[in-house]
Structure 1
Amino acid sequence: MEARIDELRLGLTKGFIDRDSPYGGSFEPELLVNEKATKQMVLTTMLEELKAAEGFMFAVAFITESGLQALKAHLFDLHNKGIKGRILTSTYNYFNQPKIFKELLKLKNVEVRITTVEGFHSKGYIFEHQSYRSLIVGSSNLTASALKVNYEWNIKLTSHEHGSIVGYFNDQFETMWQDAQPLTEIWIKRYQELYLIQHDQKVAEFPASYQTNKVEDALKVIPNQMQSQALEGLRAIREKGAKRGLIVSATGTGKTYLSAFDVRRFKPKRMLFIVHREQILTKSMEDYRRVLGGAESDFGLLTGTKKDLNARYLFATIQTISKQETREQFHSAAFDYILIDESHRAGANTYQSIINYFQPEFLLGMTATPERSDGYNLFELFHYNIAYEIRLKEALEEDLLVPFHYFGVTELMAPDGHELELSINDLSLDHRAKHIVEKINYYSHAGDTRCGLMFCQSKKEAHALSGALNQQGLKTIALTGDSSQEERTMQVNRLEAGRLDYILTVDIFNEGIDIPKINQVVMLRQTDSSIIFIQQLGRGLRKHHHKAFLTVIDFIGNYENNYLIPVALYGDYRFNKDRLRKQLVEGSRSIPGESTINFEAIAETRIFNAIDQKNLSLKKDLDDDYVRLKNKLGKQPMMMDFVNYGFRDPMLYVRYGKSYYNYVKKQEKFTTEISTDAKIILEKLSEHVLDGVRPHEAVLMVLLLDKVAVSDDDFDQQLIRLGLPALTSATRASVVQNVNLRFAREKHKSQMIAIEARYGITMVVFDEEDLQYKRHQDFDRLLNEEDFARYLADQVTFCLHRYQEQRSESQLIDGFLLYQKYTRKDVFRILGFSENPVAQNVGGYLVSQDKRFCPIFVNYLKEEGISETTKYDDQFITPELLQWMSKSNRRLCSPDVDAIYHHHKHQMRLPLFVKKHNDEGASFYYLGDVEPVQTSFEETNMEKESMKMVPVVKMLLKLKQPVERSLYTYITKESH
């Protein structure tokens, strides 16, 4: 209790008395804002407080469905923990829609009341914790825009439970609560009647279909920002003489309109528009009419039932136009502009027959997913002319799509906590149907009418589940590849008309279907492909006046491929485990706009486990991505091509083959190879020096690849341009050591020796008299090998890019980037150790010989079965205070403990590195530097396996700045 009071006192001192106080802690007052550049969001703090709360009270005037969606998964987890809360809201100005009150009534652990106070306009949130309370008050209502996007000011204060400030708020809340009306279904019914009187219920409709559209009216239809940029891209490639071009654009971003704008600019004598499903043909033709204008006879269809062969703008299904007897009714040059929608299908024989027959002046392909799993090179087909590319994340940033709220929910579990073995022939089907209904009702949908798609694992499951869901009171139908086109069209019409709640399907609606009213997408199958995941998510992302957002409900079981879910959601295809974990920890901060990403606790644990356990460097996966990128480029890719095109982290190739050159050599089967010396040095530099952990060696390499000698001053100036301090003598010596591979060690005849000593090659020498770095003759000799120089330059460029990318995301503290990850070897290298002390018992810490450094390494969650003498009781007390134990067999008088105790005397630096558990690999998060609390040193004992007690020293380490909330929660949470 006293420690908590002291923490509060120090936080308030910094917040209200002395901002230069070195201590603020987690209880320091904060201004909460939404700031895109720094990924700050009011929502982040709200969720962190909610996750740790023992109770909560919200007094908020306005609540929207989208705002409540951002909290629902977390409220569900609190319900499972038995934690309850209260929400006080209002009917002020009839802003709150009746449906939001229906949604609030679904929250089993939340009591809701409606205040009768006139002009109620409060925005206050109180979170109850053990012995203290947190308060957020300011401008943010419970809306997605206020919590994530809008310019808002909110103050977060923390008070002891007996403090007066939180007492005032608590008293105000209780007073209003007692006078407020409980939320009931009867109250909602009465409110809905009043609400309808207050609001005009006329809904603005989209322009109706029309037979003709005057050209002057059509010209008033102008492209949006994305379409304008794409049109410029098309213009640019045609000016270079291109006859083919490819548009890569996320589903729902207006590709059809974009192509119509380009046709309007191109002014073809005749145009052919090809799709693979008749279902979207008429809609495409209507969009073209609106943009192009002209007479009805200018536009025609070519399908199994319609044969408008003479239309100027002809819209055809591939099934019809690919038939030889149909195709040959047209001259090969009949169309000067041909467009292929969903062009990733163009490798099929039907499409190839069209492409090989017709000779247009320009061929345009449009797709959201150009990458193919069958190895077909779509980019080659379009002559590697990518006119424009916009993926899901960019489309959300440009507000081209409706925001979505993703919920990763737990698949049905048996009473013993294991996943049910589901069979459509037994009662588990009914249990699963009830589970699905419970989740889709709780997480709900935008608007009053449900319009959903459910993606199933198999045809059998789709039909069986549809029947079971209908028994639960839903109106559903199953459609599969066996369903006729007429059946599909009829059922889609029923869904849009509100006569169906859901269509259950197996892949046939992944693409080529346009149902803008879709407001709920349910995924009932494991994620085997991030491409298919995005295709299915995209079915509901089109904007529509009947919905403000899309709800996505993903049922997550114990699947090996769960790691693909964050890959798809965040659009990060680097397959870097640390980045995937970081994005999951950041949650909704890593997705733009009002969209949110939410996981129920068990589902989130499954995702983290999948990331920990999956091998992301399997040769097949590496090869597939290499081939895909090569296809896109039309040439052999280098490391920086993977970076520039957002493909797999190229360091995965380095780790697989010891160097990127080695990997490429096997892929391309070089007829001539670099020398053995060049191969070894490239391997060692790639693995130990040019990995992006520290930029200094790469900066020196850049300079020496251009010049034989570089002055110390030139090196300093280049570092300063990167925002780094000028060299010290220690840093200079460390850089030369590293470049010459003297720091890196390898086992050789049971000894650890420097790589340079083993292979006898020197790269750089430093002239003390001239203060110059000079290429050694060994380096000059290697640079005469063209491939060595080329691959080394590529690795150097990558190293600088990787460091600068991480630097843009993190605070630099004396060589280390806050919250980035480092191995022990990385740490010793950055601290300037003359050699990697791998032969020593580094363990949890190592005091340097000069006592200037003592890096501390903590494996936070200890594994079962490890030695009792290594099962240290290391744990965070607060985000700013870590209880830590020395190595075993240590006393207060032990040299290393004594050095740490007298750290001020030695001016010792103690950087702290923590990882959650060993499944994360060899890297640790840098959490900043710490200062031991001298009054906390305590000699105690640990029990060994033999029941013998061994001495150990326990102490408190105070971080110089508190651990960021979401990372703190991730590290300290027992699950994952």
Structure 2
Amino acid sequence: MKFEQIITQAALAGLVSDKQADTSAYTPKLLSNSEQETIWEHIRTQLQQCSSFVFAVAFITADMLPPFKAVMADLAAKNVSGRLVTSDYLSFNRPDALAELLKIPNLTTKIAPLAGFHAKGYCFEHQQPDYQTLILGSANFTRSALLKNYEWCLELNSLKQGQLVAQLHTATEKLWQQSQLLTPVWLENYRQRWQVVQQLSPAIAASTMVNQEAVTPNQMQRPALQQLAALRQAGAQRGLVISATGTGKTFLGAFDVQQAAPKRFLFVAHREQILRKAKASFQRILGGFDSDYGLLSGSHQQLQAKYLFATIQTLTQPAVMRHFAPETFDYLLIDEAHRSGAPSYQRLLDYFQPQFCLGMTATPERTDDYSIFQLFDYNIAYEIRLQDALAAGMLCPFHYIGLQDYEYQGQLLTDKAPLRQLVAPERVKYILQQLEYYSYSGIQVHGLIFCSRRDEAKELAQAMTAKGHPARSLDGTTTIAQREHLVSQLEQGRLEYLVTVDVFNEGVDIPCVNQVVMLRNTQSQIVFLQQLGRGLRKFAGKRYLTVLDFIGNYQNNYLIPLALTEDHSLNKDQVRSTLALEPVMGLSTITFTQVARQQIYASLQRVKLDAFIKLRRMYQQMEQRLGRIPLLTDFAQQHQLDVEVFAENNQIDNYYQFLNKMKAAQPTITKQQDAWLTFITQELLNGKRRHELLLLQVLSNQFQLTTAEYLTLLQQHNCKTDPATLDSVKAILSLDFFQVKAGKQLQADKYGGQSLINLIADRYQLNQALWQQLQTSAWFKKLWQDVLTAGLLRSEQYQADQAFTLYQKYTRKDVCRLLNWPLDVSAPLYGYRVGNHDCPMFVTYQNDAAKNARSGVYVNYFLSPDTIRWYTRSPRHLDSAEVKKLLERDEQGNYKVTIHLFVKRSDEEGKGFYYLGRCQVVSSSVVEINLPIPGKKPRATVAMNLQLQQPLNYKMYRLITGKKF
């Protein structure tokens, strides 16, 4: 079909009737902000694929420019440029925002001369095919408008000869010719005019200030206070609060002390600077006389204070501790409680006997075997992580930019780069250029730079200072007094940057920090979040945090998207999705430049994300949290990882075998018990159909169940109850489905060769031997029920009344089972199989033409979000039996065979395919063609268009194709 016809059909579908033509990628659509997508994501996609663009927007704010600059940097590498027209209307646009536009070399900006200029339009030119995309509506180029506000924008696609495009082109060119070029001279004149307006309207300037009125509990603190009170009422003596940095842990502690009303209170931290700030916060909440509050540190000995704030180093000195009786304090609060495993804290907790002890931390996980959770009796009073805090507006939003590090002599830096490369003048120059380009929020920069080596930090700080950017380095050898002095200089603006190594990951509060720079390999998700958190506190005049991550050729780059999204699933699909879609989190954005993204992909390909060593670490963290051997259900309930990884790991067959490798003390089980556990782990734990799980769960407790009772059970869980599905359930649990070769043995033999159930008359009965084992072996029964419960928890992500759930992943074996086929024929299934009623089609979207014997012609590809071009295997003709069967219709004209489409981007993604829904053949598109094969005669195949019942949504279409929507 010619492109003109595609655009015509798209216009008819969007503006006349969806029955007029097929929906396509070019259909007019309404854009708005939601949890699923934002207007910015559509604009970003258009930018990434256009040949040029013109924006006409009245208002621009600096808080939307960092991710825009990252996209523009990639476009500059492709020699793509754009034009922007904005205004000085109402003096809304701040001079600093306009100044940032001047830093973008491939963007030309002009100022519209029109009073009342209020346009909001985004126009993109595309080549091959040659067309334009227009996004017109209510959204200015501001963070709120593009990410959050209730806005309407219409996206239209048109050929150049279209009247609407011609009118808009004329209007745009006229506006461009009338407008004045944004220059430093014009900007300085505007700055003076703007300042006059601000002086006349002080409310405008005050709008960016943080509210300093009376403090009341926020939305994190209110439920936490309720749970802390409930803990004490239940008799608990210790509790732990896990809360992201900047969410108000100190105020929470003060509010809880207020409601507990102790006679005397002790606050313990590891630094005097923390004590002083905590003391001020508590006094703000609790009130009272100054004499009620005291410090205990190397320089202060106010031992009699009602509310005492002490450093752990001073307090635990024997001579000091003897001043207090063990029952002196009713309430003990330990800040940065993840440090409590140290001997000094142990002495503290062994000596004092408060009525209640509260620990507070942002990162309770430890790399050693000590359990902070055990120390606080496993009482987690409240937990709020980074994404929840951002969504609740409790933290300063951030713009993360993952950009490539400097190429030293044509090569990206690696983990083992020598010092001369890290501090080479060219690299320092490159770093400073990026810091200037991506900028910061506020009047001046207050930056933290994280390095990996002391000598690097020292030389980098010296080099930056020599270039006019005052900086100082500090590390673990820097004294507390020196640190506090340097922090004070950063806060006062006398220093622009602190370059740090092994400090400031925690325990420091510098709210003014508006730029965090990472110049080191990411070794840990925990450390990454700690360093990110240094800039997330709200501060007057700071509307966002700029995070610049310089990404080299590092082994652990794959940890970056995991850390940003707090993803602990060990599922590579989640990482790929983050890289491909660059998700928006509230008002925070994630952006990777092209080279940086490629480096992370390369790192991801090298790592086995679900390797046993990683499972071990997740197990140890969960064991610390629970104080016992964790089960699969614990992981599933707390969303700590995807339990299916235990079924997919090639070193184990079931969780019992994993526990053996962990040397967890447990009873042994028999070979047959192990085989039964392997079966439900390998085949049912994924939860993709809950029928078998529900049946086994009931039979495990009552031995038998009538067919009528089973049907009622399925109906209660909204499950399919058709005869074919019930027959399939029986085939699965009798192992008949697995009577096929898997290597040198039958699949069924791997699972013990015994049917798990028997269907006698109208009753399902559990295998007698299995029933006996469940009654006599408590440990085996616990493991058995654990797999079933975890599987049912995992099944909540799937629709019970459908064979497949849209956009979930399935293997060929899953498909055979869920289509109710009598045998597992996944091994010879390959690209598709035309059954009597269903035809699953498996498409690997990014085919490697070099490895494809049929060259690059035999490639299935999407024409639009609802249509894919598909080819049969070859040789096939229009009169081939399987083709005729696929195209056969019933008396009403409906196709007899239902097509199910499964797609993945590449073979690197493993065995799973995304389910994209049911399809129908577009009959007019069916054609027999000859495929050229290098060195051989052409072979016949049949090509056709398949139309999806439900067009792909924006994110899935991008994820699969990498194209615009």
Scaled to the shorter chain, the TM-score interval is over 0.9
Partner of 1:515: 510
Offset at residue 392 of structure 1 (A): 0.8
Residue 378 of structure 2 aligns with an amino acid whose one-letter code is Y
Give CA-to-partner distance per residue, 1:248-292, whole Å, 9 cap, x none. Answer: 111111111111111122222222211111222211111111111
Partner of 1:294: 288
Offset at residue 497 of structure 1 (A): 0.7
Is the CA contact (8 Å cut-off) linking 1:408 and 1:603 kept in structure 2?
Answer: yes
Equivalent-residue separation in structure 2 for 1:781 and 1:140 (angstroms): 67
Taking a change above 3 Å as real, the CA distance of residues 427 and 389 of structure 1, as seen in their structure-2 partners, is closer
Equivalent-residue separation in structure 2 for 1:606 and 1:493 (angstroms): 37
Offset at residue 716 of structure 1 (A): 4.5
Partner of 1:195: 194
Partner of 1:897: 883
SS at match of 1:854: strand
Q: TM-score, normalised by structure 1?
A: 0.92
Residue 190 of structure 1 aligns with an amino acid whose one-letter code is N
Alignment of 1:452-463 (within 5 A): 452-463=447-458
Give CA-to-partner distance per residue, 1:156-204, whole Å, 9 cap, x none. Answer: 2222222122332222222212111111111111111011000136769
Equivalent-residue separation in structure 2 for 1:512 and 1:418 (angstroms): 33
Partner of 1:239: 233
Is the CA contact (8 Å cut-off) linking 1:813 and 1:928 kept in structure 2?
Answer: no
Is the CA contact (8 Å cut-off) linking 2:447 and 2:498 kept in structure 1?
Answer: yes
Deviates more, 1:707-716 or 1:447-456: 707-716
Partner of 2:463: 468
Offset at residue 205 of structure 1 (A): 7.5
Alignment of 1:603-752 (within 5 A): 603-656=596-649, 657-667=652-662, 669-670=664-665, 672-712=667-707, 714-724=709-719, 726-744=720-738, 747=741, 750=744
Offset at residue 901 of structure 1 (A): 4.4
Deviates more, 1:313-322 or 1:410-419: 410-419
Partner of 1:544: 539
- Corresponding residue to 1:879 among 829, 842, 865: 865
Residue 890 of structure 1 aligns with an amino acid whose one-letter code is R
Deviates more, 1:69-78 or 1:362-371: 69-78
Is the CA contact (8 Å cut-off) linking 2:59 and 2:140 kept in structure 1?
Answer: yes
SS at match of 2:851: coil
Instruction: Say whether 1:528 aligns with 2:523.
Output: yes
Is the CA contact (8 Å cut-off) linking 1:654 and 1:663 kept in structure 2?
Answer: no
Partner of 2:387: 393
Partner of 1:775: 766
Instruction: Say whether 1:860 aligns with 2:860.
Output: no
Offset at residue 379 of structure 1 (A): 0.8
Taking a change above 3 Å as real, the CA distance of residues 721 and 640 of structure 1, as seen in their structure-2 partners, is same
Offset at residue 715 of structure 1 (A): 4.2
Equivalent-residue separation in structure 2 for 1:569 and 1:834 (angstroms): 44
Partner of 1:919: 908
Offset at residue 77 of structure 1 (A): 1.3
SS at match of 2:110: strand
Taking a change above 3 Å as real, the CA distance of residues 757 and 75 of structure 1, as seen in their structure-2 partners, is closer
Deviates more, 1:952-961 or 1:794-803: 952-961
Give CA-to-partner distance per residue, 1:864-921, whole Å, 9 cap, x none. Answer: 7635248633333433333333324334443333433447776112222222222211
Partner of 2:593: 600
Alignment of 1:33-44 (within 5 A): 33-36=32-35, 39-44=36-41
Q: Tell me the C-alpha RMSD between the 2 structures.
A: 2.6
- Corresponding residue to 2:897 among 905, 908, 920: 908
Taking a change above 3 Å as real, the CA distance of residues 401 and 232 of structure 1, as seen in their structure-2 partners, is same
Equivalent-residue separation in structure 2 for 1:251 and 1:909 (angstroms): 52
SS at match of 2:883: helix
Instruction: Say whether 1:804 aligns with 2:793.
Output: no
Any stretches of 5+ residues in structure 2 without a counterpart?
none
Give CA-to-partner distance per residue, 1:407-438, whole Å, 9 cap, x none. Answer: 11111125646547854336961111112112
Give CA-to-partner distance per residue, 1:755-777, whole Å, 9 cap, x none. Answer: 1798342223446x64x544343
Equivalent-residue separation in structure 2 for 1:514 and 1:670 (angstroms): 43
Partner of 1:214: none
Equivalent-residue separation in structure 2 for 1:409 and 1:199 (angstroms): 36
Give CA-to-partner distance per residue, 1:476-501, whole Å, 9 cap, x none. Answer: 11111121212111111111111111
Give CA-to-partner distance per residue, 1:668-723, whole Å, 9 cap, x none. Answer: 55553333222212201210233122223223334434544445555455445545
Alignment identity in percent?
38
Offset at residue 405 of structure 1 (A): 0.8
Partner of 2:785: 793
Partner of 1:928: 917
Residue 841 of structure 2 aligns with an amino acid whose one-letter code is I
SS at match of 2:54: strand
Offset at residue 293 of structure 1 (A): 1.0
Partner of 1:413: 407
Residue 83 of structure 1 aligns with an amino acid whose one-letter code is V
Alignment of 1:63-212 (within 5 A): 63-130=60-127, 131-200=130-199
- Corresponding residue to 1:833 among 790, 796, 821: 821
Equivalent-residue separation in structure 1 for 2:48 and 2:887 (angstroms): 36
Taking a change above 3 Å as real, the CA distance of residues 5 and 960 of structure 1, as seen in their structure-2 partners, is farther
Instruction: Say whether 1:506 aligns with 2:501.
Output: yes
Taking a change above 3 Å as real, the CA distance of residues 14 and 953 of structure 1, as seen in their structure-2 partners, is closer
Is the CA contact (8 Å cut-off) linking 2:928 and 2:940 kept in structure 1?
Answer: no
- Corresponding residue to 1:844 among 804, 818, 831: 831
Instruction: Say whether 1:943 aligns with 2:928.
Output: no
Offset at residue 223 of structure 1 (A): 1.5
- Corresponding residue to 1:554 among 549, 552, 559: 549
SS at match of 1:554: strand
Offset at residue 383 of structure 1 (A): 1.0
SS at match of 2:424: helix
Deviates more, 1:262-271 or 1:107-116: 262-271
Is the CA contact (8 Å cut-off) linking 1:138 and 1:154 kept in structure 2?
Answer: yes
Is the CA contact (8 Å cut-off) linking 2:512 and 2:535 kept in structure 1?
Answer: yes
Offset at residue 315 of structure 1 (A): 1.2
Alignment of 1:14-25 (within 5 A): 14-19=13-18, 23-25=22-24
Taking a change above 3 Å as real, the CA distance of residues 353 and 757 of structure 1, as seen in their structure-2 partners, is closer
Taking a change above 3 Å as real, the CA distance of residues 720 and 570 of structure 1, as seen in their structure-2 partners, is farther
Taking a change above 3 Å as real, the CA distance of residues 504 and 813 of structure 1, as seen in their structure-2 partners, is farther
Partner of 1:211: none
Equivalent-residue separation in structure 2 for 1:605 and 1:757 (angstroms): 41
Taking a change above 3 Å as real, the CA distance of residues 967 and 432 of structure 1, as seen in their structure-2 partners, is farther
Any stretches of 5+ residues in structure 1 without a counterpart?
209-216
Give CA-to-partner distance per residue, 1:785-837, whole Å, 9 cap, x none. Answer: 43333323222222222232355xxxx99522222211111122112211111
Residue 58 of structure 1 aligns with an amino acid whose one-letter code is F
Residue 953 of structure 2 aligns with an amino acid whose one-letter code is E
Residue 838 of structure 2 aligns with an amino acid whose one-letter code is F
Is the CA contact (8 Å cut-off) linking 1:424 and 1:464 kept in structure 2?
Answer: no
Taking a change above 3 Å as real, the CA distance of residues 917 and 414 of structure 1, as seen in their structure-2 partners, is farther
Equivalent-residue separation in structure 2 for 1:870 and 1:890 (angstroms): 17
SS at match of 2:476: coil
SS at match of 1:245: strand
Residue 678 of structure 1 aligns with an amino acid whose one-letter code is Q
Taking a change above 3 Å as real, the CA distance of residues 102 and 422 of structure 1, as seen in their structure-2 partners, is farther
Equivalent-residue separation in structure 2 for 1:545 and 1:161 (angstroms): 48
Deviates more, 1:255-264 or 1:741-750: 741-750
Q: TM-score, normalised by structure 2?
A: 0.93
Deviates more, 1:923-932 or 1:333-342: 923-932
Deviates more, 1:468-477 or 1:433-442: 468-477
SS at match of 1:561: coil
Offset at residue 609 of structure 1 (A): 2.9
Is the CA contact (8 Å cut-off) linking 2:798 and 2:804 kept in structure 1?
Answer: no
Equivalent-residue separation in structure 2 for 1:924 and 1:621 (angstroms): 25
Taking a change above 3 Å as real, the CA distance of residues 572 and 834 of structure 1, as seen in their structure-2 partners, is same
Is the CA contact (8 Å cut-off) linking 1:819 and 1:927 kept in structure 2?
Answer: yes
